[in-house]
Amino acid sequence: MAIKIVKAEFITGATGPESYPDEGLPEIAIAGRSNVGKSSLINRLVNRKNLAKTSVTPGRTRQMNFFLVNDSLLLVDLPGYGYAKVSKDERASWGKMVSRYLTGRKPLKALVAIFDIRRDPSNEDLDLMEMVSDLSIPPIIALTKADKINRGQINRRKSEIAELLDLNPSDLVPFSAETGLGKWELWKAILERVKAGGLEDEK
């Protein structure tokens, strides 16, 4: 399956429900630790170099950024967690902001949790999985930076991380924002959850 991206634009940033967009369109949240590659993954999904701002300095995205794709769905870049230099207060406000969105947002159809394929999930990664385990949407796991390891290692890491998360390896998608590996598999997983109208098949 392939979708043709005809349009991708930044809509708004929000820190709470009062500033969520009211497009009434399905939303897909993208979560993961700081610097894992959330913004890069979004850019790769929509074929845009710098729609979501990427940074070599972690912990820069402090709000939820909503990107409208093909006037049909919204990708939501959540602020990263696990950045050591963040104060206790900031950490608490992150938790509140994100859990409020994840647990209370009606149009939320899918959560893409991004992990670095080379690392074992951190405690904070596991906290996120715990937070979403009560939602009716099972997460899609993207294992990013797969360009950093070879094919054999990719398969091995996929099984190892699936086991650590107690998930089926088929729920995990190796991904690379550099090479585009996993892009269509990820779109397929997203669209299955969304079943959005107006997203054309490319062929």
Q: Any contact of residue 61 with Mg ion (CB under 5 A)?
A: yes
Residues contacting residue 74 through CB under 8 Å, at least 6 positions apart: 11, 21, 23, 25, 26, 27, 28, 66, 67, 68, 107
- Give the separation between CA 124 and CA 119, rounded to whole angstroms: 13
Question: Does 72 participate in binding ligand GTP (rule CB under 6 A)?
Answer: no
Query: For ligand GTP, which residue of 5, 48, 60, 119 counts as binding (CB under 6 A)?
Result: 60
- Between residue 12 and residue 41, which ones bind Mg ion under the rule CB under 5 A? 38-39
- Interface stretch with Mg ion, choices 55-63, 92-100, 130-138, 144-152 (CB under 5 A): 55-63
Nearest-approach distance from CB 2 to Mg ion, in angstroms? 25
Of 151, 146, 147, 85, nearest in space to 114 by CA: 146
Assess 80 for contact with ligand GTP (CB under 6 A): yes
- Dihedral of CA atoms 34, 126, 63, 6 in degrees, nearest 10, equals 80
Contact string (CB under 6 A) for ligand GTP, positions 126-165, x = contact: ------------------xx-xx-----------------
Length of the chain: 203
Q: Does 182 bind ligand GTP (CB under 6 A)?
A: no
Residues near Mg ion (CB under 5 A) are: 38-39, 61
